[in-house]
Structure 1
């Protein structure tokens, strides 16, 4: 598989959303969905994610081993009663790929290398780190694999031979490297837990420290796609803009105040950062949630409002990855890991902020239709309402047990057909009020109810029930029983030629042409 498109199927939807606490940037043109084949994963708790050169997705799980997703199925590599001794520990903390296409992955007890030709797994032949917890690892463009563990940073070649060992000190203390990053100029940068920021000098084969000015330590970094700056996340200080060429600490490191306005310190405790390839937003996983930032013309940050995309509930997230198609993959413990995709430019949002203001909940229609400058919306638990977004007006038919969850648009008049009890009613919207009138009442048996409506645009309203199919003439008011022995009717449609089709729950699909009926498919 060469394209992640096999995993991420294109989705085109109309995004109904609410604008809350208006800010300069709003995430109206994105959607969230679950990971493909997530039900095949051995656990929902993911520590890391990686996309290899062929487009396959690899997941590192908490206790469930290493997983590979090819878009159709998930293959799991771990030690269990069927495959004992494969790994000393099934918690996978980091994943990378060397120049020969082999998958390297770190666990809470050592490093392993997987060959994609035969899927054989072998432990890295370095006894020093065999039992250590691996913090992070990255393969760089020169073929080097960098591995951080136990306050040491090691360098290996693709054959698994160690070619370097580094102990990075900050203010005299040895600290663990928590992220490794290679920029566009092939410079290798590392950040240090409870420490500072360093850059690798190939000539001196050593790491050069930069004058990190904050007590809160850096956690990850990324190079800006469009400016000469880098963006650094911190554990407690929020976001920092970094200019390595600047003279003076104040100019080299510029703290961004976008997050410091929030009293909750967890908003400023950031784990991981990437920049997406579609909008150029910065995305960070924090101690409490996922956040996005737009880079302004003066290279400062504006927060992107994700309230229409993600709940404000506290989340436990780990990593975020931008795949080859620009989708964002976010992993973590809670909620389940998810994907953020960007909608095409021609898909425009429909703002429904008035629904939140009037009903106290976001718009979540079970059925939706536009008429003139207003919309008919059937919302679960809240009944039916007509909503005029231009004037922020809405009228509600309160929910009751007899009101149907579906409606049908008439072909020759305004309003909608709905069902209340065993009657078809017409509901119209005029001058901010709703008006009801009975169209027809169906003679039904005990336990029978109306399940489907269809206007065939030929003067007939078709009514499907638990036991019957009726045809009601809108011209003369005559009600005809068409079928009384086909079972539960779930849906009715018609063709331009006047042929009517209806689907039943127990006896398949049927066709009616004139006065004859024909069973098309028996379930």
Structure 2
């Protein structure tokens, strides 16, 4: 019979029937009527939830609505962004609203359907040139403090804040790959990358009105023509999701693909989040969340019985504490500490675990000592030895193995072999329930 052991810590709980502990959040008020569209974390750490009927602040317990102008009542929120203490909210009809003094605004929990006069109110943004009429798909700010606004249908808009003037990048006049933009991100040089049905457009405006566009397509190494999302990691690389070919990593310095997922069979990607240098969480249109270990390059879906398995993932976000957030088209909101995982093992009654300096995982049970070698476990001590404690020496990295009835063994991480300490060593009893020490003594 298989047994599961749990590694690291989880903040919000776990789903016991899945290898990945993605947890559906519950709040003090009913959320099932809300259809989530996007998730965003502001600079103060608060979570903002866009829905088909408005925008809400989530404080970990309550969802607190923002008041909106009458013209935006029941209009779907499609993008959220913060810059200079102003919250920007984009809508499906092309409208844009904002809330100033975000950090100084007081929010009160909702009191049901009753109107709350203390509810913070969004203001409709009304630049002189007017607003788009196509759905807002994203916001980003360039190094000159220009606000870039992507749309699905009208290309890119840039609000030049010093001049207070709006500029537009489109396909016909400026060479944009397409006017249908799924996602935008800023690279390490301050240029704006736009994901479209015809590859990627890299845009900049070094001076007001001086538009520059560079296009990247399959002929430049992209795995797919349809790019559905973009994300800039901490090293400055651009990660992209595609319609049919999974994910890729692109180097904006050398203009070349550094990584491409293999054996992708999960269809179109909606959003993705990067964790460190070796892990991706990927939202899809039909197969829920996919986990991809970059070194192994094997995409793995959640178990078929998981609530997320066959959902459309609308939004994915990694917050600044390292938690994964996601929303589905069924109005579900999930979060998890993905550094916690469930490890299936063939052993019963696991009693001790540790990792050595080489990163190998050691496991002690009533049926011996084992070390994980790749995806398999190798037995180091026989079934007759009941291992109850493990400790890694900071001096030589060897594993001290405490047993019940057999004293202490020393295991070598390099050779995966163990030797028994003499019975008279420090008058050790045969039962060693715990081992601890430092560089001077054990």
Relative distance call for 1:285 and 1:59 in structure 2 (3 A) is farther
Query: In the aligned structure 1, how far is the partner of 2:12 from the partner of 2:256?
Result: 35
2:362 is matched with which residue?
377
Which of 140, 150, 170 is 1:191 aligned to?
Answer: 150
Query: In the aligned structure 1, how far is the partner of 2:146 from the partner of 2:215?
Result: 19
Which of 57, 61, 71 is 2:46 aligned to?
Answer: 57
1:463 is matched with which residue?
431
Q: Secondary structure at the residue paired with 1:378?
A: strand
CA contact (8 A) 2:50 2:80 kept: no
2:186 is matched with which residue?
223
1:295 is matched with which residue?
251
Which of 279, 294, 300 is 1:313 aligned to?
Answer: 300
Query: In the aligned structure 2, how far is the partner of 1:333 from the partner of 1:215?
Result: 27
CA contact (8 A) 1:256 1:301 kept: no
CA contact (8 A) 2:195 2:201 kept: yes
CA contact (8 A) 1:182 1:188 kept: yes
CA contact (8 A) 2:154 2:170 kept: no
> What are the ranges of 5 or more consecutive residues in structure 2 without an aligned counterpart?
1-6, 14-22, 101-120, 260-276, 280-291, 303-312, 340-344
Relative distance call for 1:456 and 1:60 in structure 2 (3 A) is farther
CA contact (8 A) 1:288 1:314 kept: no
- Superposed CA RMSD in Å reads 5.8
Query: In the aligned structure 2, how far is the partner of 1:320 from the partner of 1:133?
Result: 19
Output aligned runs, 1:377-396, within 5 Å: 377-378=362-363, 384-385=369-370, 396=379
1:77 is matched with which residue?
63
Residue 209 of structure 1 pairs with residue 169 of structure 2: yes
Residue 241 of structure 1 pairs with residue 202 of structure 2: yes
Relative distance call for 1:201 and 1:379 in structure 2 (3 A) is same
2:79 is matched with which residue?
136
Output aligned runs, 1:4-153, within 5 Å: 41-42=26-27, 48-53=38-43, 55-60=44-49, 66=56, 68-69=58-59, 74-77=60-63, 112-113=65-66, 123-124=67-68, 126-141=69-84, 146-153=88-95
Query: In the aligned structure 2, how far is the partner of 1:184 from the partner of 1:368?
Result: 46
- Shift of residue 284, structure 1, vs aligned partner: 5.5
TM-score normalised over the length of structure 1: 0.46
- Shift of residue 186, structure 1, vs aligned partner: 2.1
Deviation string, structure 1 residues 36-95 (Cα, Å, up to 9, x no partner):
697874379975444445x332242879994544xxxx23036xxxxxxxxxxxxxxxxx
Relative distance call for 1:145 and 1:407 in structure 2 (3 A) is closer
Q: Secondary structure at the residue paired with 1:177?
A: strand
- Shift of residue 384, structure 1, vs aligned partner: 3.7
CA contact (8 A) 1:285 1:320 kept: no
Query: In the aligned structure 1, how far is the partner of 2:10 from the partner of 2:392?
Result: 37
CA contact (8 A) 1:256 1:300 kept: no
Query: In the aligned structure 2, how far is the partner of 1:365 from the partner of 1:194?
Result: 59
- Shift of residue 193, structure 1, vs aligned partner: 1.6
Query: In the aligned structure 2, how far is the partner of 1:370 from the partner of 1:239?
Result: 44
- Shift of residue 189, structure 1, vs aligned partner: 1.5
Which of the pair has the greater relative contact order for Cα pairs under 8 Å at 6+ separation? Answer: 2
Residue 270 of structure 1 pairs with residue 228 of structure 2: yes
CA contact (8 A) 2:152 2:181 kept: yes
Relative distance call for 1:241 and 1:321 in structure 2 (3 A) is farther
Query: In the aligned structure 2, how far is the partner of 1:180 from the partner of 1:288?
Result: 25
Q: Radius of gyration: which is bigger? A: 1
1:200 is matched with which residue?
159
Q: Secondary structure at the residue paired with 1:198?
A: strand
Query: In the aligned structure 1, how far is the partner of 2:324 from the partner of 2:95?
Result: 26
Q: Secondary structure at the residue paired with 1:152?
A: coil
Query: In the aligned structure 2, how far is the partner of 1:384 from the partner of 1:244?
Result: 62
Relative distance call for 1:380 and 1:281 in structure 2 (3 A) is farther
Query: In the aligned structure 1, how far is the partner of 2:242 from the partner of 2:198?
Result: 11
Q: Secondary structure at the residue paired with 1:185?
A: coil
Query: In the aligned structure 1, how far is the partner of 2:80 from the partner of 2:249?
Result: 26
Relative distance call for 1:280 and 1:155 in structure 2 (3 A) is same
Q: Secondary structure at the residue paired with 1:220?
A: strand
Query: In the aligned structure 1, how far is the partner of 2:426 from the partner of 2:12?
Result: 44
CA contact (8 A) 1:238 1:259 kept: no
Deviation string, structure 1 residues 235-258 (Cα, Å, up to 9, x no partner):
x55654334569999962234778
CA contact (8 A) 1:135 1:148 kept: yes
* Count of residues in correspondence between the two structures: 332
- Shift of residue 386, structure 1, vs aligned partner: 6.1
Query: In the aligned structure 2, how far is the partner of 1:257 from the partner of 1:388?
Result: 41
CA contact (8 A) 2:97 2:122 kept: no
> What are the ranges of 5 or more consecutive residues in structure 1 without an aligned counterpart?
1-30, 79-111, 114-122, 169-173, 342-358, 440-454, 465-490, 501-523
2:326 is matched with which residue?
332
- Shift of residue 288, structure 1, vs aligned partner: 9.5
TM-score normalised over the length of structure 2: 0.52
Relative distance call for 1:379 and 1:249 in structure 2 (3 A) is farther
